[in-house]
A and B are shown apart, each in its own frame.
Chain A
Amino acid sequence: MFQESRLHGEFFMQGDIACAEGALAAGCRFFGGYPITPASEIAERMAMRLPLLNGVFIQYEDEIASMAGILGASWAGVKSMTATSGPGISLMNENIGLGMMMEAPCVVINVQRGSPSTGLPTTWGQSDMMQARWGSHGDYGSISLVPNSPQEFFDLTVTAFNFAEKYRLPVFILADALVGHMTEKVVIPPVEELTIINRKYTTKKPGEYLAYDYGKDLVPDFAKAGDGYRYHTTGLTHDRRGYPDMTVECQEELVPRLVNKIKNNINDISLTEEYDIEGADVIVISYGITSRTVLPSITAAKEKGIKVGYLRLKTVWPFPEEKIRKLSGNVAGFVVPEMNLGQISLEVERCACNNSKVKLVPHPGGGIHKFEDVLKAIEEVAHGK
């Protein structure tokens, strides 16, 4: 069998399929999942492709098992992934928390639909943005990437694996049903041309190794099962040996580290795209498919003479706080169209901190923003209403 995914070239490919191919190119060799619309095609593609690459595909009995399973595979030293939609993420959150606490690298794909509950299975939404940040109980640093095209679904899946390996945590991709089910041109480069990061394995001997000892980067070195390290890991608050320790001191050392290992690297993790930001009066901030559906409104506003800039978030968590704080001093306001009733707009509001107006253009999902609504919001902000 083949060790590397050598599929490359130019394809007319669905977003979900591009995601699966991105994972394979990044070296993912374990997929544990449970089918759910609109993420099922990822599992289907993995079921077909993984056996060709000596990988493992398992369709678990539910999403809870899927998430636990990819953590197990991660500890065996294999890059692992699951894919689901909002209701599945709700179930996975318990073990996502375990992954954060144990620091097990893996990737969780959320192809979002309209919510709450089972919501709109076959249409789209961006309703899980906050859930990705705060879904599991407790404090932890979190990384979430948001693609806006099948091509980017491929690219950001590779990036997600790199972040997962580098910072040792479950990394989210928050796609939506539109990106997942859209078919567009996808260019898959030869695997040699991709930047692939692998986790840092310990160079210490088994007797000297402590599972959660860390250096300046706050990320402990990894040792996989079966290599003779015979380490312990737990979801309980643990010391550097990985042993449970119920003291305040231990909690004070551990939990801020889980947050700071991400916070300290925001410049590396935060990916954004900017257009016409210089001298803009209004900046439209959007992400995912919305960043494409609102473009006609932005063009129309420009034609009306409004100086409108455009900021697209490819990384929503950690949130680009500093960038938005700086921008907020120079503009009249931000317009935030999103397919929920205001999740990321609250973050923008927090960072703008009354320096400038923040106008949400909400949509509950199932459709896309109306051209006029977004244009009207841009005009209102530009004219100080």
Chain B
Amino acid sequence: MANNTAKPIIEEKPHPMEDLLRMDRMPHIWCSGCGLGSAVTTFVEGLKKAGVSYDKTAIVSGIGCTGRVAGYLRLDSYHTTHGRAIPFATGLKLANRELTVVVFSGDGDLFAIGGNHLIHAARRNVDINVICVNNFIYGMTGGQNAPTTPLGAYSSTAPYGNYEMPFNLVGLAAAAGASYVARWTTMHARRLTDSIAKAANKKGFCFIEIVSPCATVFARKNKGGSGLDLLKEFQTRAIIDHEADPTQIPLSMDNEIVCGEFVNKDKPTFWENVQTGIKAKLEKFSNWEELQSNSTKIPHKKSVTYTSSRDTYNSRSNT
């Protein structure tokens, strides 16, 4: 007799990242060969390694391909407007300082439309982490020029080759005052995981650039081959140099991709500075009477009867 209770050939097991991925949203919308899958995997591994509470971790994205990351992660997640993830995250973090707040977005979102917010958040040293997936192009919008598109590279809006100088993201973040700055490619899975874990537990503004392949538009327009070809290229071109000056390592079509942990310093965060700044000043207000007189500088009656009807029309008519 046939054995009806035999085990199925393929045993169903829970997905190893199920606790942090919204499995009911799978499959994701990213193209095959895209680096975002690796970026999300390393992020999940990084969070696990960091040991932070998932309930107390919030993720904020802007728009575009990378903007969709927030929706796939089982955390408090916010998919916001074009370029505005950082100020949104700043509000979230300052209003609840127990949270670990991570902005996960793309190069176009963070450095074109959101460029101003990024440099100011770094300047203030707000205690948030910004992970930027840099694929050198506007992917979801159809392959137009990004502020990171290398000189000479082709895009939908650079049909004769890009003639604008690209931003060097790590240089910009470091110069603006970030506490932690690192660059890796999606090839550097273990090192990237370590960086993400480190940033999760580090106070201050942390910036991680993930150089990532876009096979569907960037490579197609620049004859770069498949996603696998692009990874092989990263493998050939990437070097690790932690001592490199982040302002001196721009990315181009054929240079070395200098990776590493370029900045890792401790300095007071925005909130720490706020606390230091006001603490001494506030000590002199020991009670409310003092505070009220100091904050209004106008003598007032201590108790008045409050009535809700203050009829300006009638009082005018009476005079």
Which A residues are closer than 8 A to B by beta carbons?
Answer: 1-2, 6-7, 9-13, 29-30, 32, 48-49, 51-52, 56, 58, 60-62, 64-66, 68-78, 80, 94-95, 97-98, 102, 148-149, 151-152, 155, 187, 189-190, 193, 224-236, 243-244, 273, 275, 292, 295, 299, 310, 312
Chain A residue with minimal CB distance to B78? A233
Q: What is the CA–CA distance of A32 and B126 in the complex, to the nearest angstrom?
A: 14
Q: Knowing A232-B22, A234-B71, say if A9 contacts B78 (CB, 8 Å).
A: no
CA distance A6 to B296 in the complex (A): 13
Partner of A230, one of B75, B86, B120, B278: B75
Q: Is A76 a contact of B91 with CB atoms below 8 Å? A: yes
Within 8 A of A (CB), among B255-289: 270, 274, 278, 282, 285, 288
A225 contact from B79, B96, B302, Cβ within 8 A: B96
- Assuming the contacts A7-B295, A189-B306, A310-B313, asked whether A72 and B89 have C-beta atoms less than 8 A apart, the reply is yes
Given A62-B116, A275-B313, A72:B91 Cβ within 8 A: yes
> Do A9 and B304 touch (CB < 8 A)?
yes
Q: Is the CB of A73 within 8 A of B79?
A: no
Please name the 5 residue pairs, one residue from A and one from B, whose CB atoms are nearest each other, closest first: A72-B91, A65-B87, A76-B95, A69-B91, A234-B79
| Chain A CB within 10 Å, residue with most, of B22, B78, B116, B300 | B78
Q: Which residues of A contact B71 (CB under 8 A)?
A: 232, 234, 243-244
Q: A231-B76, A244-B71 are in contact. Are A72 and B56 (CB under 8 A)?
A: no
A232 touches B316 (CB 8 A): no
Partner of B99, one of A11, A225, A233: A225
List 20 interface pairs A-B (beta carbons < 8 Å), by A numbering.
A10-B301, A30-B94, A52-B285, A56-B94, A58-B270, A61-B120, A64-B117, A65-B90, A68-B84, A74-B95, A76-B96, A77-B95, A94-B84, A97-B81, A187-B304, A225-B99, A226-B96, A230-B76, A292-B316, A299-B317
Most chain A CB neighbours (cut-off 10 Å) among B54, B70, B71, B88 = B88
Contacting B300 at CB < 8 Å: which of A1, A10, A80?
A10
Cα of A155 to Cα of B309 in the assembled complex, Å? 11
Task: Assess whether B92 is in contact with A73, with CB atoms less than 8 Å apart.
Answer: yes
- List the B side residues contacting A189 at CB < 8 Å: 306
Does B313 lie within 8 Å of A236, measured CB to CB? no
Q: Is the CB of A98 within 8 A of B90?
A: no
A51→B274 CA distance, assembly (Å): 9
Q: Is the CB of A230 within 8 A of B74?
A: yes
Taking a contact as CB atoms closer than 8 A, the residue among B87, B270, B274, B291 that contacts A72 in the complex is: B87
Q: Which residues on the A side are within 8 Å of B291 (C-beta)?
A: 52
Measured CB to CB, the nearest residue on chain B to A65 is B87
Query: Could you tell me the distance between the alpha carbons of A29 and B94 in the complex, rounded to whole angstroms?
Result: 11
| Cβ-based interface call for B292 (8 A) | yes
- Neighbouring B residues of A295 by C-beta, 8 Å: 313, 316-317
Instruction: Establish whether residues B70 and A232, one from each chain, have CB atoms under 8 Å apart when the complex forms.
Output: yes
Task: A56 to B127: give the CA distance in the assembly, Å.
Answer: 14
Does B12 count as interface, using CB distance less than 8 angstroms?
no
Contact of B304 among A10, A13, A32, A62 (CB under 8 A): A10
Do the beta carbons of A229 and B95 come within 8 Å of each other?
no
B80 near A235 (CB under 8 angstroms)?
A: yes
- The residues of B that contact A64 with a CB separation of less than 8 Å are 84, 87, 117
Closest to B116 in A: A61
CA distance A146 to B234 in the complex (A): 59
User: Contact: B87 with A226, CB < 8 Å?
Assistant: no
Interface status of B298 (Cβ within 8 A of chain A): yes
B42-75 residues with Cβ-Cβ distance < 8 A to A are: 54-56, 58, 60, 70-71, 74-75
Query: Once the chains bind, are A9 and B95 in contact (CB under 8 Å)?
Result: no
Assess the B25–A243 pair: CB atoms within 8 A. yes
Contact at A229–B76, with CB atoms within 8 Å? Answer: yes
A69 touches B274 (CB 8 A): no
User: Which of B80, B86, B302, B314 sits near A98, CB closer than 8 Å?
Assistant: B80
Closest to B58 in A: A225
CB distance from B180 to the nearest CB of A (A): 21
Q: Which of B75, B90, B270, B303 has the most CB of A within 10 A?
A: B90
- Other-chain residue from B81, B298, B317 in contact with A94 (beta carbon distance below 8 A): B81
Q: Nearest Cβ distance between residue B89 and chain A, in whole angstroms?
A: 6
Residues of A within 8 A of B77 (CB): 230-233
**Would B306 and A76 count as touching, CB distance under 8 A?**
no
| Shortest beta-carbon distance from B295 to chain A in Å | 7
Known: A10-B301, A77-B96. A228 touches B55 (CB 8 A): yes
Is B22 within 8 A of A32, CB to CB? no
Decide yes or no: A226 and B99 within 8 Å by CB, A69-B91, A148-B312 being known contacts. yes
At the interface, yes or no: B254 with Cβ under 8 Å from chain A?
A: no
Decide if B54 touches A230 in the complex (CB within 8 Å): yes
How far, in whole Å, are A32 and B94 apart by their CA atoms in the complex? 11
Query: Which B residue sits closest to A276, measured CB to CB?
Result: B313
Chain B 95-117 near chain A by CB (<8 Å), digits 1 or 0: 11011000000000000000011
A72 vs B285: C-alpha distance when bound (angstroms):
31
B13 within 8 A of A: no
B310 close to A (CB within 8 Å): yes
Distance A180 CA – B150 CA, assembled complex (angstroms): 50
Give, as a whole number of angstroms, the nearest-CB distance from A294 to chain B: 11
Given contacts A7-B292, A76-B92, A233-B79, contact A227 B55 (CB under 8 A): yes
| Residue on A nearest B79 in the bound complex, by CB | A234
Closest to B70 in A: A232
Which of A71, A78, A94 gathers most chain B CB within 10 Å?
A: A71
Selected from A58, A148, A310, the residue in CB contact (under 8 A) with B90 is A58
A95 to B63, CA, bound (A): 13
| B residues in contact with A73, CB < 8 Å | 91-92, 94-95
